[in-house]
Amino acid sequence: MTLRAQNKNKPILDCPTRWNSTVDMIQSLLSLKDICSSDVRNLFLPDSTWQMLEEIVAALRPAKKLMLKLQSEQLTVGDCYLSWLTCKLETSDINTIFARELISNIEDRQSVLFNEAFINAMFFDPRINSTLTIDQQQSAKNQIISLYVRLLQLNDINKSNEKDTTSETDLPEEFEKENRFSVHNKLQNFLINSYIEKHDNVSTLLPSRHGVIDECVQTFKENLSMFLEEPLLDSSADVLKFWEQKKGKYPTLYEVAKIVLATPVTQVSVERLFSSMKFIMSDLRLNLKDDIIEDILFIRSYHLHKD
């Protein structure tokens, strides 16, 4: 009756599976502070409790802003990391016990955040690539060069397929040749990946096409070094527009950057995958291995969004 008389809403309850619901619940309770006073005995809360609730909301507010940012459908790794840093800095300015504990957990989670795909995308973002350590930069360069070599090989395969003008009578023999070529290509990929994991110098990779690949890789490495000398990009700039402007200067880097920067970091894609789980998991299929579930999710996601 008191809430209705003062035109107030009932406080909401949080949901364990909904991000931000806890801070929303506490904020709704704080809006009723005037009602929960000493003259309403059943609703009374001491001042120390109200102060604690206000400190919790203040500490969680930057994290809530970050979660809302992660709900954007279009988000690059750089945007995600900048929002993460903003959350960390804003929370650090709040000098409370809860905020300090939250900062400790944010730093623990950051080690999980920095996986290979994330670091590779950071490397191609001039707003934040200076924050990478020397080891992280070197690891990213090795993986990016490996990706470039794969692109060169795929281009060779596509050109070879375009030149094939095989008659129907020659199909069985040519099919056998293509099959052998496919196996050979897989073997080459395996050997190249093993080599790059242990060596930085990939200019000596496989003397094929009379050194053309060697020259391409060497030029690519020089472009990587030139790119790292680019001036710092403002944090509010669009990294995708940056690469559109630089594709004339760094054409090969541009092609690789398009792939690396496509790494999904938004909450949207995760929610779509969660929704797909109900079509994959059932009482009769609870014993599926993790890698099989991941493969099914990948194929389903590609099929639904390929257009």
- pLDDT-derived band at 231 (thresholds 50, 70, 90) equals very high
Q: Which two tokens stand for residue 209?
A: 């096409």
Q: Where do the structural domains in the chain lie, given as residue ranges? A: 2-113, 132-260, 267-305
How far apart CA 297 and CA 205 sit, in angstroms, is 35
Whether residue 261 contacts residue 239, with contact meaning beta carbons closer than 8 Å, is answered with yes
pLDDT tens figures, 27-41: 988 888 877 765 566
Q: What pLDDT score was predicted for residue 181?
A: 54
pLDDT tens figures, 109-144: 888 888 899 999 999 999 999 999 999 999 999 999
Say whether pLDDT at 88 is over 70.
yes
Is residue 184 exposed (0-12), middle (13-18) or buried (19+ Cβ within 10 Å)? exposed
How many other C-beta atoms are found inside a 10 Å radius of the C-beta of residue 266? 18
Whether residue 195 contacts residue 205, with contact meaning beta carbons closer than 8 Å, is answered with yes
**Nearest of 35, 25, 224 to residue 141 by alpha carbon:** 224
The radius of gyration of the chain from alpha carbons, rounded to an integer in Å, stands at 27
Say whether pLDDT at 12 is over 90.
no
Average pLDDT, the chain: 80
How far apart CA 224 and CA 252 sit, in angstroms, is 10
How many other C-beta atoms are found inside a 10 Å radius of the C-beta of residue 16? 6
How far apart CA 66 and CA 84 sit, in angstroms, is 7
Q: Which two tokens stand for residue 78?
A: 């750089």
How far apart CA 90 and CA 194 sit, in angstroms, is 43
3-state secondary structure of 9: coil
Q: How far is CA 10 from the centre of its chain?
A: 38
pLDDT tens figures, 189-221: 666 666 555 544 444 444 445 466 778 888 999
Whether residue 63 contacts residue 55, with contact meaning beta carbons closer than 8 Å, is answered with no
